[in-house]
Amino acid sequence: MNNKYKVVLAIIIFAGGWIFGSSNNEAPVITSSVGGASYEGGFESEVTVGAVPHRSAAGSIHIVSPGDSIQAAVEAAQPGDTIQVMPGTYSETVYIDKDDIHLVGVIQNGARATLDGLGKLNDAILYSGNNIIIENFRITQYKGNGIMGQAGNNFEIRNNVIVDTGIYGIFPQLGTNGLVEHNVVSGIEDAAIYIGMSDNIHVAYNEVFDSVAGIEIENSRHAIVEYNNAHHNTGGILAFVTPGLPIKTTEDVIIRNNFVSDNNTPNFGAPGSIVSGIPAGTGILVMAADDVIIEGNIITNNKTAGIIINDHSFAPTITMDVQSDPNADRTMILDNVMLNNGYDTIPEVVAVALTELHIGLVDIVHVGPSNGSCIINRHRYRTVGIGDYSECGFTNTDSIDSYLLAGGAQPRVIASSERGEIAYLGVCAGCHSYTGRLIGPSVQVIQAMYAGNPQGLATYINAPIKKRENFPEMPAQNYLDPETQLAVAKYMLQVNN
Ligand code: HEC
C-alpha cells in the first residue's frame, strides 16, 4: 500500500471513530420552534415600559449651554427637576447624589451634548440617587467610567454614544430595576456595558463593539439581554460570577434575539484583570452563572466558540472563592442560528473536543460540571461537552416580556451608619474583589497595606497616585464627602469576603 492510501485509510478510520464514537448516530430529536411551551421559571414578570416611575408633577427645567457647568445645574436642581444640556462640549465630571433627576442631552440636527474627558478626567457621569434618567449624551476620552450608577435604584440609561472611555462604558452597580437601551458603546478596555451586583435589569437595542467585553451581567439576578448587537469585541455577551464580591450569584438571565458576531478582537484588557482571561473569539460566555437561557440569537464568526459554558476552574485569571458555587448550572439553550464559530479555537477547547473525537468548528462548548442543563435541536450545532444536557421541556420565553418591576423598586435610603458599606458595595466593589485582582488589587492586599490606618486609606482614595505598573490608574473618589471616604476606608479594612 503506498503512502497516499495509508493516509486515506487513516482518515477513514479516524472519521469512522468520530461519527460512530459520538452520540450523534442516533436519530436527532427535532423540536419545532413554532409554538411550543414557554419557559415557566424565572422572575414573576410584570410588563412595564420603563424603569423610572412616572412623575406626577413636572418639576423645573434647567438649561445648560456651552460654557456653563452641568454640575452646577445638578447642584441647583431639586428632586423632580429635569436638566437639559444643549449641544456643545463639556469637560467635567458630573455627580448626581440626589433622587429623581432627569439629565437629558438635547440633540439638534444630530449635534449632541458631548462630555469630553480630554484623556485626563476619570469619570463622566456618576449617580448615586434613585429614579435617575440619563440620555442622549456623547461621552468620550475619560479614563474610568462613562456612566456609573452607585447603588441607585430605578434608572434609565438611554441613547448615549460612548467612545473610548477607559474601563467601563455604562456601569450600573448595586441597583434594582434598571433599563439600559439604545446606547452605542465602543473602545472600552473592560466592559462596554457592565451590570454589576444588580437585580431586575433590561438591556436592549444597544450596539457594543471594539471593546474587551461587550455586555456583562455579573453577580446579578433577573436580567434580560435582548436585541443587542455585540460585534468585534473580545467576548460578545457574558453572564458570570466574579468571585470575592459581596454578592455571590448570577442567576435567571435571558439572552435572546441578539446579534453576536466576529468577536475576535485581541484581548486588550489590563493584564491580570478578570476579563484579560477571556479568549478572543468568544461569542457568549456563561461562567458559574445559573439558570441562563440562550434563545434566538444569531451567533456567527466567533473564532474560539459561539457559546462557552464553564466553571471557575477553567478561567486562568480567577481566584476561587469558597462562598461562590463555581459551576454553571441549568444552562438552557433554545433555538439559535449559529454559523462558522470555533474555526480557530484555543488549545483548552481542542483538548476537550478531542476527548469526544470532535474536530473542526465549535458552536457550543461546555467545560466543567453542570446540573440540570438542557438544549433543543442539538443536531443543528457543532457541540462539545454537552452530552449530559437533557431535552428542554419548553421551546421559548414568549411569556416573559420583562423582569422590570411594575411601579419601580423602593428607592434606596442610606442611613448614615450604612454609608461606608454602601459606598464599598456601590463603588469600590466595581474594581476591587476580596480574593483576587479585578481592576485594582484585592482587598486582602489593601488590608495588609493599611491595617490600622483607615485615615491613610481615605487620603489615598481622595487623590490616588499611580503605584503599580500594569494596573490602570485608580479614579479619585473625591466626589465622596470626607466622612464617607473615612467610613468606606474603615469598612474596607474589616470586610472578610
Ligand atoms: C474604576 C476602578 C476603581 C474603583 C471604582 C476603585 N478603585 Fe481602588 N484601585 C483601582 C486601581 C486600578 C488601583 C491600583 C492603582 C495603582 O496601583 O496605581 C487601586 C488601588 C487602590 C488602593 C491601594 C492604594 C495603595 O496605596 O497602593 C486602595 C486602598 C484602594 N484602591 C481603595 C479603593 C476604595 C476604598 C474604593 C471605593 C471608594 C476604590 N478603591 C474604588 C481601581 C479602582
What is the predicted pLDDT for the residue at 494? 96
Joined together, the cell numbers standing for residue 378 give 442539538
- Residue 50 contacts by C-beta under 8 Å, 6 or more apart in sequence? 156, 179, 404
242 or 8, greater pLDDT: 242
Are the C-beta atoms of residues 408 and 55 closer than 8 Å to each other? no
Tell me the average pLDDT across 84-94.
Answer: 98
Q: Is 461 in the pocket of ligand 1 (CB under 6 A)?
A: yes
- Phi/psi of residue 355, nearest 5 degrees: -65, -20
Q: Is 268 in the pocket of ligand 1 (CB under 6 A)?
A: no
The Cα 115–Cα 105 span in angstroms is 10
Q: At residue 150, does pLDDT exceed 70? A: yes
Q: Is 439 in the pocket of ligand 1 (CB under 6 A)?
A: yes
Are the C-beta atoms of residues 369 and 311 closer than 8 Å to each other? yes
Q: Is 427 in the pocket of ligand 1 (CB under 6 A)?
A: yes
DSSP 289-319: -EEEEEES-EEE--SSEEEEEE-GGG-TT--
Average pLDDT over the chain, rounded to an integer: 92
- Residue 285 contacts by C-beta under 8 Å, 6 or more apart in sequence? 235, 237, 238, 239, 240, 278, 307, 308, 309, 310
Where b means 16+ CB within 10 Å and e means fewer, 291-312 reads bbbbbbbebbbbbbbbbbbbbb
Closest ligand 1 atom, residue 168 Cα: 1
Are the C-beta atoms of residues 93 and 123 closer than 8 Å to each other? yes
- Phi/psi of residue 132, nearest 5 degrees: -110, 135
What is residue 392's three-state secondary structure?
A: coil
Residue 98 pLDDT grade (very low, low, confident, very high; cuts 50, 70, 90): very high
Q: How many helices (H) and strands (E) does the chain have?
A: 7, 34
Give residue 29 CA to ligand 1 midpoint distance, Å: 52
Give residue 440 CA to ligand 1 midpoint distance, Å: 5
Q: In Å, what is the CA distance from 192 to each residue of 55, 159, 278, 397, 428?
A: 30, 14, 14, 26, 18
Give residue 85 CA to ligand 1 midpoint distance, Å: 32
Q: Is 472 in the pocket of ligand 1 (CB under 6 A)?
A: yes
| Structural domains of the chain sorted by starting position, each given as residue range(s) with its CATH number in brackets | 416-494 (1.10.760.10)
Give residue 302 CA to ligand 1 midpoint distance, Å: 34
The Cα 279–Cα 162 span in angstroms is 24
Q: At residue 20, does pLDDT exceed 70? A: no
What is the predicted pLDDT for the residue at 32? 80
What is the predicted pLDDT for the residue at 76? 98
Find where cell 457568549 sits. 284
Q: Is 115 in the pocket of ligand 1 (CB under 6 A)?
A: no
The model's pLDDT over 419-478, given as tens digits with 9 standing for 90+, comes to 999 999 999 999 999 988 889 999 999 999 999 999 999 999 999 999 999 899 999 999
Are the C-beta atoms of residues 108 and 85 closer than 8 Å to each other? no
Q: Is 422 in the pocket of ligand 1 (CB under 6 A)?
A: no
What is the predicted pLDDT for the residue at 47? 66
Q: Is 453 in the pocket of ligand 1 (CB under 6 A)?
A: no
Residues, the chain: 497
The model's pLDDT over 50-75, given as tens digits with 9 standing for 90+, comes to 899 988 888 999 999 999 999 999 99
Residue to mutate (ligand 1; options 197, 431, 444; most atoms within 8 A of CB): 431
Residue 25 pLDDT grade (very low, low, confident, very high; cuts 50, 70, 90): low
- Count CB atoms within 10 A of the CB of residue 463: 9
- Count CB atoms within 10 A of the CB of residue 267: 19
Are the C-beta atoms of residues 43 and 404 closer than 8 Å to each other? no
Residue 46 pLDDT grade (very low, low, confident, very high; cuts 50, 70, 90): low
DSSP 65-93: -TTS-HHHHHHHPPTT-EEEE-SEEE-S-
Give residue 461 CA to ligand 1 midpoint distance, Å: 7
Q: Is 491 in the pocket of ligand 1 (CB under 6 A)?
A: no
What is the predicted pLDDT for the residue at 5? 56
The Cα 146–Cα 187 span in angstroms is 11
Residue to mutate (ligand 1; options 145, 148, 245, 432; most atoms within 8 A of CB): 432
What is the predicted pLDDT for the residue at 19? 45
Amino acid found at 128 = S
Closest ligand 1 atom, residue 270 Cα: 12
The Cα 136–Cα 113 span in angstroms is 8
The model's pLDDT over 316-338, given as tens digits with 9 standing for 90+, comes to 677 777 788 889 999 999 999 99
Determine what percent of the chain is predicted with pLDDT higher than 70: 94
- Phi/psi of residue 456, nearest 5 degrees: -60, -40
Residue 21 pLDDT grade (very low, low, confident, very high; cuts 50, 70, 90): very low
Eight-state DSSP code of residue 449: H
Q: At residue 244, does pLDDT exceed 90? A: no
Mean pLDDT check: name the lowest of 52-61, 118-127, 217-226. 52-61
Dihedral in degrees, nearest 10, Cα atoms 145, 146, 152, 155: -150
- Count CB atoms within 10 A of the CB of residue 469: 6
Give residue 92 CA to ligand 1 midpoint distance, Å: 21
What does the angle CA 59 – CA 407 – CA 398 come to, to the nearest 5 degrees? 130
Give residue 144 CA to ligand 1 midpoint distance, Å: 12
Residue 26 pLDDT grade (very low, low, confident, very high; cuts 50, 70, 90): confident
Q: Is 334 in the pocket of ligand 1 (CB under 6 A)?
A: no
What does pTM read for this prediction? Answer: 0.91
Give, for 484, the enclosing helix (H) or strand (E).
helix 482-494
Helix ranges (DSSP H) in 340-437? 347-355, 419-426
Are the C-beta atoms of residues 175 and 155 closer than 8 Å to each other? yes
Tell me the average pLDDT across 299-318.
Answer: 90
- Phi/psi of residue 427, nearest 5 degrees: -120, -65
